[in-house]
């Protein structure tokens, strides 16, 4: 795609701090990092979202993610990683080229888990149960969970779309 920023980076038409590349993928540091070493891995095949990525480009992309994660582990020794994709504008995707964020995480860094990104289950018709209706092992949880029946209903709906 001629005007795509990440395609331009992949073609070396636009500068970036490249940390890894091969014939299929390119990884570079995010210019708005959430942590030291925050990298993005992109396929050299232009696709806006995961659903647009040709099947043959999927494995090389995630092999690149694994390689970059290992490089960051060896270089920075983080305590963990948050790895994710903003898929579509509603999720915060700012560049219309699929990219996988690899964010090194450190104990006490102030970040949360992937579950802290969004909390709209109740707004989508899922009624959260009060904590006191949970089994004793779940009462310690700080989050309310949708009832099992709602999860089963959602799972059935998703399976029908296969």
Domains and CATH numbers, the chain: 5-115 (3.30.428.10), 119-160 (no CATH)
Q: Does the pLDDT at position 51 exceed 90?
A: yes
Asked if 72 contacts 38 with a C-beta cutoff of 8 angstroms, the reply is no
Q: What is the pLDDT of residues 88-138, one digit of tens each?
A: 999 999 999 999 999 999 999 999 998 888 776 665 555 555 555 544 544
DSSP result, 40-79: EEEESS--SSGGGS-HHHHHHHHHHHHHHHHHHHHHH--S
- 99 is an active site residue: yes
pLDDT for 36: 92
pLDDT of residue 157: 78
Predicted confidence (pLDDT) per residue in 52-80, tens digit: 999 999 999 999 999 999 999 999 999 99
What pLDDT is stored for residue 140 in this prediction?
Answer: 43
pLDDT at 141 over 70: no
pLDDT per residue as tens digits for the range 1-32: 789 999 999 999 998 899 999 999 999 999 99
pLDDT of residue 126: 57
Distance CA 125, CA 143 (A): 17
User: Of 46, 97, 99, 101, which one is the catalytic site residue?
Assistant: 99
């Amino acid at each position: 795609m001629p005007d795509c920023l990440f395609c331009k980076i992949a073609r070396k038409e636009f500068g970036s701090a490249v940390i890894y590349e091969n014939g299929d993928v390119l990884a570079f540091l995010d210019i708005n990092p959430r942590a030291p070493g925050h990298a993005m891995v992109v396929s050299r095949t232009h696709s806006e979202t995961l659903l647009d990525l040709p099947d043959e480009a999927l494995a090389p992309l995630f092999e690149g993610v694994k390689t970059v994660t290992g490089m960051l582990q060896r270089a920075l020794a983080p305590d963990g990683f948050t790895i994710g994709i903003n898929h579509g504008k509603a999720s915060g995707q700012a560049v219309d080229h699929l990219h996988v964020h690899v964010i090194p995480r450190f104990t006490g860094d102030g970040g949360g888990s992937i579950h802290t990104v969004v909390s709209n289950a109740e707004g989508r018709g899922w009624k959260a149960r009060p904590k006191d209706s949970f089994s004793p092992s779940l009462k310690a949880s700080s989050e309310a969970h949708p009832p099992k029946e709602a999860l089963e209903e959602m799972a059935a709906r998703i399976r029908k779309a296969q």
